[in-house]
Amino acid sequence: MKTEYYKEERYKRAKKRVKEIKGFYWHLFWYLVVNIFITFGSTIADVVRGINVELEDLHFGMFSVWFFWGIGLVSHWLKVFGKNIIFSKDWEERKIKEYMDRDDVN
């Protein structure tokens, strides 16, 4: 009976994790689609109309959505993938093994 409970709990955690990852990738997809459309939509329209587009025509306002939404995207990434980026369980295990190996030598 206990093993069934643990299997179900593991399944629920795995399903939740997959949902979080899927949510991040959808967020990334829409970030790219919308920002590419905003950035190049008006530029392409100007080129089609015959208006000469120069580098000086590109301004912060055109890229501000990339920047500010990008901050949100990075936050989402950290929430989904960044748990214990620096001091992960793997890191802890390696350090423990390293210190145990040092003690064996001394």
pLDDT digits (tens, 9 = 90+) for 30-69: 999 999 888 877 667 666 666 665 655 566 667 788 999 9
Identify the residue with better confidence: 28 or 64.
28
How many other C-beta atoms can be found within 10 angstroms of the C-beta atom of residue 101?
9
- Identify the burial level of 25 via C-beta atoms within 10 angstroms of its C-beta, where 0-12 means exposed, 13-18 middle and 19 or more buried: exposed
How many angstroms separate the Cα of 82 from the Cα of each of 50, 74, 88?
Answer: 46, 10, 10
Amino acid identity of residue 72, one-letter, is: G
pLDDT of 53 reads 59
State residue 34's pLDDT score.
93
> What is the pLDDT at residue 100?
81
Q: Alpha-carbon distance 97 to 80, whole Å?
A: 28
Cβ atoms of 77 and 24 within 8 Å: the answer is yes
Q: Which residue has the higher pLDDT, 20 or 102?
A: 20
Q: For the chain, what is the mean pLDDT?
A: 81
What's the whole-number mean pLDDT along residues 71-100?
A: 82
Q: What's the confidence (pLDDT) of residue 103?
A: 73
